[in-house]
Chain A
Amino acid sequence: MTLTNSSEKPSTLSKRGAELASGPNLKELAKAILGGTWDPVDNPDVILNIGTAENHLMLDDVAAFINSKNLKLNGSAFDYGEGFWGSSRLRKGMAKFINRHFHPHTPITTDELSCSSGCTSLFNMIGAALGDPGDGILLTMPSYVAFANDFGLTAKMKPIFVPFQDADQFSPDSIRYYEAARQKAEDSGTHIRALMLCHPHNPLGKCYPKETLVALMEFCNKHKIHLIADEIYAMSVYEVPEPTAVPFTSVLSFDYSQYIDPDYLHHTYGMSKDFACGGLRIGTLWSWNKDLVRAVSAITQFSHTGQIDDLYASTILEDEEWLDGFLATSRKRLAASNKLAKQLLDEEGIKYNKGANAGFFLWIDLGPWLREEDGENGWEREDKLLQRMLKLKVFLTSGKGQGSEKPGFFRLVFSHKEVVLREGIKRLVKVLRDDGAN
């Protein structure tokens, strides 16, 4: 690989520095789609973003709560606090929360939890601790768009995507696909070290039934693969009319030690989704594996939560009555937005995966609207469709980046105020109906 900077002079950086500099410019991309939330009054000219998964339905409620608390900050709020791993107050509050809501088989304790600045940071650190550069991590197809980057960018783990063809990846039978992907990787020299499980699933928005979790644990145990269970959408499981919708069962909620060596099961959680507090940067890691915890704590100093974020998060976690009401309201609003999104999609004949009952998104199939003239293959056409969306100032995350097996799939985020969701889908429909005159 030729390592030169854009002006063709030899790079002034290290090899890895030059590699980072020449990589995709995340800042540019973010500028385009994160220019503030579209609002018909306050911010009508930005791109309407229904691609990024944030709980817009509950942001104002968090703000109102914090404002109502009139937190008077002492000087001590501005010092280094208890260190880099989350205050004991925060970890206590989070442990209590997890015990109350996840029903762990064995209650977790304050000291078993460590905190850092969001799950993104956690994955980066866990990747470094569990894998050597080039080691593989199994990811479902599709999966959360950033997993490959989170584990790959500096920890240099290799994403190994698991295709399921048309099989149900939530069924215990899906294990054979993991087996096949693992075998293929190992045969080609990539040692699989971890399996990243997003549960509830992003972007498919469904929960794994217990038997599948057990099957995955047994698979991981068999091959000495670390099972990382990211349950960040656990409290965002809402009501849908489908009776077959699977409720949420945490990996912690049964005696997993029967199926997997406890040193190989790791639980991550955070406040970015259920709590609509993505800005606070709160991610938690729970694991029996003392070595993993020590390894991560050794580098947490480079990505720890701020003191005041810690304080706000603790305040939120401690008001259990308010918090339970908040989560119930969130689920209610998610159910309503989900229903509205489906109704608007139905009106246009846009298909989405049935039975989704968790998270903030619908996995929609825009395959029928890919145009032949847009490219030689489905992926090129999908990209062109995304470009048309951006031109009409609406953004959804495209399937390619999320490891979709087939082109044409997009993730539509419905956790928006009604006025935003309606306008977003209206623009999407306009893109699809547009006869190519632009």
Chain B
Amino acid sequence: MLSTRGHKYAALDLAAGYTKIRGDLYDKFKHPNDLVCLTQAENFLMQKEVAAFVKKKCISSIDASVLSYHEGPFGSKRLRQAMSGFVNLHFSPATPTLAEYFSFVSGVTALNEVLALCLTEENDGLLMGMPIYGSFASDLPTKSDCRLLYAPFGDIDQFGLEAVERYERTLQQAERKGTKIKGLVITNPHNPLGRCYSRKSLKGIMRFCSKHNIHLISDEVYAMSVYYSDGRHPGFTSVLSIDPSGIIDHSLVHVLYGMSKDFAAAGLRLGCLVSKNAELTKAVRSLARFHCASPLADAIATTILEDKAFHIPFLQKSRKALFEHQIIATDALNRAGIPFSARPNAGFFLWIDLSNCLRGNGWEAEMHMQQELFKVGLEMSTGLAYHNERPGWFRFIFSVNRDMLKEGLRRLICFYQKYSIDIA
């Protein structure tokens, strides 16, 4: 017998993705016919490297203090200092960050929950665009009971200035229905579209947030995973790099960052809030007690962030590997005529359009397609989970080893050949 809340959490079954029976996973030599699971956005290409560094340098440099309660549950001073230095070096902040702006908890997932609790009342709204990282839907409302409002963009470019008008529309609709919007969440670089916001559009978004006096939460976990940039593919611009004076009160601007993506170290469970809002920082550090990052992980991350001779070439190598794999994927998709969202240049994924393969209409048809894909040994996150506007889109992860990537592409192309209806 559980509490009402307990029943609610059980019913959510948020661990379902992990408890699902998948059998053996694909391995070119041992399990050539088993499931190619492309749901986890991890940089599998760089895990060996970071693991080797952790073993060699990080573990060997720890001392007894990592086994104490240490300096508190929101990240050691040295870690916060190291991350501040890293952000100052790589995010081009308008004013250099200080260690006191940084608060660590055990992963950005935990941080999402904490922020929602600190920024919203029950039934208050948080705004975001479509599509977007699917797990916000479990991370933000579960404990806080806030609501998520999704802004559709139709055919306009959500990375352009016109996008703000859609956020405006969705906000107005929500408020008319009695939901108070407390914040806008963006992923920058974007998950799953794999693109970066330009300076101009970030300013537009900041102005929008200022106008309505709402928080801007910029989840920048893929900041260092922009593997290509040119005139048509803008590189990374952090919201921290925009001087808020005259645009927005700096206490409304918050950045999320962590070790899970760029550093291929999701297992460290380390995410941080970067904010100049002293009260929010205090609130987050209160709740950090319940989401304390392990001091061991703290020490490991500190070593990584302090060691420029390691992490700068590591991040370069990572981007190169991601670029190569993205090319393998996009080449194959282009040859096979499988459309995907335009101009991806960041992150670990492609947002692919399999709507030509839908049998029937609506989200049921997409769910059916998901099952058919599973049958041919391919698993990807769905458009439904990512709040896409139309059914039939999937997130294809390419940051897996080459054999798995190629096998995944073959199975996808075969599926597409089989099910796509040519709309000549």
Question: Using a CB–CB distance below 8 Å, which chain A residues touch chain B?
Answer: 39-42, 44, 60-61, 63-64, 67-68, 417-419, 422-423, 426
Query: Are A41 and B406 within 8 A (Cβ)?
Result: yes
Assembled-state Cα–Cα distance A67/B413 (Å): 28
Query: What is the distance, in angstroms, from A34's C-beta to the closest C-beta of chain B?
Result: 21
Query: Are B413 and A419 within 8 A (Cβ)?
Result: yes
Query: What is the distance, in angstroms, from A90's C-beta to the closest C-beta of chain B?
Result: 25
Query: Are A418 and B30 within 8 A (Cβ)?
Result: no
Given A64-B29, A67-B29, A41 and B328 contact (CB-CB distance below 8 Å) = yes
8 new A-B contacts at CB < 8 Å, known A41-B410, A68-B30, A418-B417:
A39-B406, A40-B335, A41-B328, A42-B406, A63-B29, A67-B29, A418-B414, A419-B417
Assembled-state Cα–Cα distance A67/B328 (Å): 26
Instruction: Report if B418 contacts A (CB, 8 A).
Output: yes
Query: Are A426 and B410 within 8 A (Cβ)?
Result: no
Given A41-B328, A42-B406, A417 and B414 contact (CB-CB distance below 8 Å) = yes
Chain B contact residues, majority secondary structure: helix
Assembled-state Cα–Cα distance A422/B419 (Å): 11
- Which residues of the partner chain B approach A44 to less than 8 Å between Cβ atoms? 331-332, 335
- Which residues of the partner chain B approach A417 to less than 8 Å between Cβ atoms? 410, 414
Instruction: Report if B50 contacts A (CB, 8 A).
Output: no
- Which residues of the partner chain B approach A61 to less than 8 Å between Cβ atoms? 32
Query: What is the distance, in angstroms, from A343's C-beta to the closest C-beta of chain B?
Result: 11
- Which residues of the partner chain A approach B411 to less than 8 Å between Cβ atoms? 419
- Which residues of the partner chain A approach B413 to less than 8 Å between Cβ atoms? 40-41, 419
Assembled-state Cα–Cα distance A41/B30 (Å): 21
Query: Are A419 and B410 within 8 A (Cβ)?
Result: yes
Chain B, interface residues (CB within 8 Å), range: 10 to 19
- Which residues of the partner chain B approach A67 to less than 8 Å between Cβ atoms? 29-30
Query: Are B30 and A40 within 8 A (Cβ)?
Result: no
Name, among B32, B336, B414, B418, the residue most crowded by chain A CB atoms within 10 Å (CB to CB): B414
Assembled-state Cα–Cα distance A303/B221 (Å): 62
Instruction: Report if B223 contacts A (CB, 8 A).
Output: no
Assembled-state Cα–Cα distance A64/B76 (Å): 49
- Which residues of the partner chain A approach B358 to less than 8 Å between Cβ atoms? none
Query: Are B414 and A419 within 8 A (Cβ)?
Result: yes
Assembled-state Cα–Cα distance A67/B403 (Å): 16
14 A-B residue pairs with CB within 8 Å:
A39-B406, A39-B410, A40-B332, A60-B32, A64-B30, A67-B29, A68-B29, A417-B410, A419-B410, A419-B411, A419-B414, A419-B417, A422-B414, A422-B417
Instruction: Report if B409 contacts A (CB, 8 A).
Output: yes
**Residue interface bits B230-272, CB-to-A below 8 A is 1, else 0:** 0000000000000000000000000000000000000000000
- Which residues of the partner chain A approach B328 to less than 8 Å between Cβ atoms? 41
Question: Using a CB–CB distance below 8 Å, which chain B residues touch chain A?
Answer: 29-30, 32, 328, 331-332, 335-336, 406, 409-411, 413-414, 417-418
Query: What is the distance, in angstroms, from B214's C-beta to the closest C-beta of chain A?
Result: 45
Query: What is the distance, in angstroms, from B354's C-beta to the closest C-beta of chain A?
Result: 15
Query: Are A64 and B32 within 8 A (Cβ)?
Result: yes
- Which residues of the partner chain B approach A60 to less than 8 Å between Cβ atoms? 32
- Which residues of the partner chain A approach B335 to less than 8 Å between Cβ atoms? 40, 44
Query: What is the distance, in angstroms, from B330's C-beta to the closest C-beta of chain A?
Result: 11
Assembled-state Cα–Cα distance A63/B335 (Å): 28
Assembled-state Cα–Cα distance A40/B417 (Å): 11
| Residue of B whose beta carbon sits closest to that of A425 | B417
Query: Are A40 and B29 within 8 A (Cβ)?
Result: no
| Residue of B whose beta carbon sits closest to that of A60 | B32
Given A419-B417, A422-B418, A41 and B29 contact (CB-CB distance below 8 Å) = no
Query: Are A41 and B409 within 8 A (Cβ)?
Result: yes
Query: What is the distance, in angstroms, from B357's C-beta to the closest C-beta of chain A?
Result: 13
Query: What is the distance, in angstroms, from A285's C-beta to the closest C-beta of chain B?
Result: 34
Assembled-state Cα–Cα distance A61/B409 (Å): 20
Assembled-state Cα–Cα distance A67/B335 (Å): 32
Query: What is the distance, in angstroms, from A289's C-beta to the closest C-beta of chain B?
Result: 43
Assembled-state Cα–Cα distance A417/B418 (Å): 13
Query: Are A418 and B336 within 8 A (Cβ)?
Result: no
Name, among A41, A67, A68, A419, the residue most crowded by chain B CB atoms within 10 Å (CB to CB): A41
| Residue of A whose beta carbon sits closest to that of B407 | A41
Query: What is the distance, in angstroms, from A60's C-beta to the closest C-beta of chain B?
Result: 5
Assembled-state Cα–Cα distance A64/B30 (Å): 6
- Which residues of the partner chain B approach A419 to less than 8 Å between Cβ atoms? 410-411, 413-414, 417
Assembled-state Cα–Cα distance A41/B406 (Å): 6
Given A64-B29, A64-B30, A41 and B414 contact (CB-CB distance below 8 Å) = no
Query: What is the distance, in angstroms, from B397's C-beta to the closest C-beta of chain A?
Result: 15
- Which residues of the partner chain A approach B29 to less than 8 Å between Cβ atoms? 63-64, 67-68
Assembled-state Cα–Cα distance A155/B69 (Å): 87
Query: What is the distance, in angstroms, from A310's C-beta to the closest C-beta of chain B?
Result: 23
- Which residues of the partner chain B approach A423 to less than 8 Å between Cβ atoms? 417
Assembled-state Cα–Cα distance A44/B337 (Å): 13
Query: What is the distance, in angstroms, from B396's C-beta to the closest C-beta of chain A?
Result: 13
- In the A-B complex, the 9 residue pairs with the smallest Cβ-Cβ separation, listed nearest first, are A419-B414, A422-B417, A41-B406, A41-B332, A40-B413, A60-B32, A67-B29, A418-B414, A41-B409
Assembled-state Cα–Cα distance A284/B30 (Å): 31
Assembled-state Cα–Cα distance A41/B332 (Å): 5
Query: Are B410 and A40 within 8 A (Cβ)?
Result: yes
- Which residues of the partner chain A approach B32 to less than 8 Å between Cβ atoms? 60-61, 64
- Which residues of the partner chain A approach B406 to less than 8 Å between Cβ atoms? 39, 41-42
Assembled-state Cα–Cα distance A42/B408 (Å): 12
